[in-house]
Structure 1
């Protein structure tokens, strides 16, 4: 692919000098869904597919951006002598622009422009975080081209801030953190409140992670996401009348049960219950993985999906159908939706001997019930965003 990217870069930008290569992965969250903005724990890992980029400095104040995934948009040019603002017609390039603005706002002197070409092999709209991937790819490009000395966690925070403020999506920090801090063959247990984290080896012995894409466009994800956030914030305010807490992630299930009566609205109670119990499940799951107890880890994944379906109500027919089909197959240890919900992907742990049958049978059952064709990826866990040598 690099040769095709080089060819395209040279054709578009008329230069073949001092071109540097970069990569930022996609991510999958193994357990800990909708806990990040509730101050809880998440357990994501970086994948070996993601966003590739080629970049080279220019001698003027122009920045030119092109994506091989959106050729119809063409080359978007922006000038450094004008303030950066979100512009609808700039389409996908608003993500890199938002990160660029973060660097400028932090006092980085960017006096010369650059050309950049992106190519991503993350399925678009699958919920494996293509937006955070392009943000972190941009962050490592800018760090390299302008020789800045931000820490990796700084780049993660700047990318999240760009998505919150420039793009206007109030996401938590998990996606950017997993993509910026990923480590080969490890998942990250992240406390989203304190940003304390630890790497945990993913040892699946004779099994693999399988990601299944529903191929349903996630039309509701953004609006429902903001709705769930406000429901949890209301529940937290009710609990704070008696409890000295800053987030739902601080509560154990036992503490929640003895104070749930404080939450006025029954729907808000269900949302808060998911956030609290999911956080506890995540911590338990990491311990089970450390002990090599994959069966218990898999059961916790299934419990997570049930809670997301019944208490948080973010799964939907397609995701539920995939998980139900997965759990009927031999050699499946656990399965759950991953990401925001309402479409996107599931992640399952499947014994290697059963992989082929799993993909064939689940795909067939899903197509019969939904009319949609699922796509399957046997996932490898890779490194975080970086410059490629």
Structure 2
């Protein structure tokens, strides 16, 4: 039997730091439906998966912190009394958490930490949030800081927004902390209220297929889409002053101003309004156990992202088309901001191996290597998985 990720990280820690650590598991995540809805104060439907970052942590005397990135074989030492400015490297993610924690809880002490795992970087499973929220959770448990779960979420998000400099929403960190085993999470991005829905991992798998494409266009076009949505809201607000975001706009409201909106802006707004409605209806599908209809809504989501929001790319469209030729696939769409990255597929558990083989046989990434396929189970959020023995 291969060594577990947790045991690998534990051994790395003990070899470097000479004592037994507490172990914390921090999962990656997927988003089944609800794309580009978060910054429009809409809904998302993520879940935590069985790929994770493992943290091994133990306190030390003084104010020094030693961080070991086990998968890179690199180490960084910092002082809690003088944290460095961002360096645009892996250490920014944990150090950003330390910046927030030392302000929130000045009694935070020095510690040693080794971390690593099996979340593929760049595949859209939010490895960065797993590092940020996972470390915040681990230190809260290690030093008994008494932070509420939502405080951990917001602290981890601020680390990425303010220290790392990435203007992400709150979905990734929220899912990391609040996810439940065998359930997906409907998050209201306005109120941060959440509701869980069943997902039978014994019957279904979430499978990600990586295009191998990373387009620099994504960041600039993301900002353009946000501006276009706000332009639509501003026009609708003239007739409906209570409208704060596209979350508040009905199809009839949008139809009433169609002639006054740029056609591109109208399409962007139409997609967001329809996507929120799809997600809410999809949650009822999950409650009823109607996964075939839910999968159809995933297909509609991809069509909207491709044709109305225009954030897909030929490689994403190709992988979605391949998926729909497989009889075990119930749903398929692009996942994430767009212009590359992964597709997310809803696949019957007994058909995952054949589906993965079909993708590898019929899709070739730009680098010419085999396509990367990640089959996932839906699991719970960040938790302590082992504590050192009491002597």
Taking structure 2 as the reference length, the TM-score comes to 0.91
The aligned residue for residue 378 of structure 2 is: 381
| Alpha-carbon distance in 1 for matches of 2:266, 2:195 | 31
1:33 to 29, 32, 35: 35
| 3-state secondary structure, aligned to 2:65 | strand
User: Deviation per CA, 1:313-361, whole angstroms, max 9, x where unpaired?
Assistant: 2221211110011011223211011122222211112233433322212
**For structure 1, which segment, 240-249 or 174-183, has the greater mean C-alpha deviation from structure 2 after superposition?**
240-249
| Alpha-carbon distance in 2 for matches of 1:218, 1:369 | 12
Say if 2:85 is the partner of 1:85: yes
User: Deviation per CA, 1:357-382, whole angstroms, max 9, x where unpaired?
Assistant: 22212221112898453222221101
Does the 8 A contact of 2:236 with 2:254 survive in 1?
no
Does the 8 A contact of 2:179 with 2:379 survive in 1?
yes
Q: Structure 1's 7 and 292: CA in aligned 2 closer, same or farther, altered over 3 A?
A: closer
> Considering only aligned residues, what root-mean-square deviation do their CA atoms show, in Å?
2.0
- Please report how far the alpha carbon of residue 307 of structure 1 lies from its aligned counterpart in structure 2 after TM superposition: 0.7
The aligned residue for residue 60 of structure 2 is: 58
Does the 8 A contact of 2:102 with 2:108 survive in 1?
no
The unaligned stretches of length 5 or more in structure 2 are 387-391
| 3-state secondary structure, aligned to 1:32 | coil
1:344 to 341, 357, 372: 341
| Alpha-carbon distance in 2 for matches of 1:368, 1:226 | 27
| 3-state secondary structure, aligned to 1:214 | strand
The aligned residue for residue 250 of structure 1 is: 248
2:25 to 17, 23, 26: 23
The residue correspondences of 1:148-187 to structure 2 (distance < 5 A) are 148-187=145-184
The aligned residue for residue 211 of structure 2 is: 214
- Please report how far the alpha carbon of residue 84 of structure 1 lies from its aligned counterpart in structure 2 after TM superposition: 4.9
| 3-state secondary structure, aligned to 2:227 | helix
Aligned residues: 381
- Please report how far the alpha carbon of residue 9 of structure 1 lies from its aligned counterpart in structure 2 after TM superposition: 1.6
Say if 2:112 is the partner of 1:118: no
Q: Structure 1's 203 and 57: CA in aligned 2 closer, same or farther, altered over 3 A?
A: same
Q: Structure 1's 204 and 21: CA in aligned 2 closer, same or farther, altered over 3 A?
A: closer
Say if 2:14 is the partner of 1:6: no
| 3-state secondary structure, aligned to 1:344 | strand
| Alpha-carbon distance in 2 for matches of 1:352, 1:226 | 38
The unaligned stretches of length 5 or more in structure 1 are none
- Please report how far the alpha carbon of residue 282 of structure 1 lies from its aligned counterpart in structure 2 after TM superposition: 0.3
User: Deviation per CA, 1:222-247, whole angstroms, max 9, x where unpaired?
Assistant: 33323322222232222222222111
| 3-state secondary structure, aligned to 1:159 | helix
| Alpha-carbon distance in 2 for matches of 1:242, 1:147 | 52
| 3-state secondary structure, aligned to 1:240 | helix
**For structure 1, which segment, 281-290 or 368-377, has the greater mean C-alpha deviation from structure 2 after superposition?**
368-377
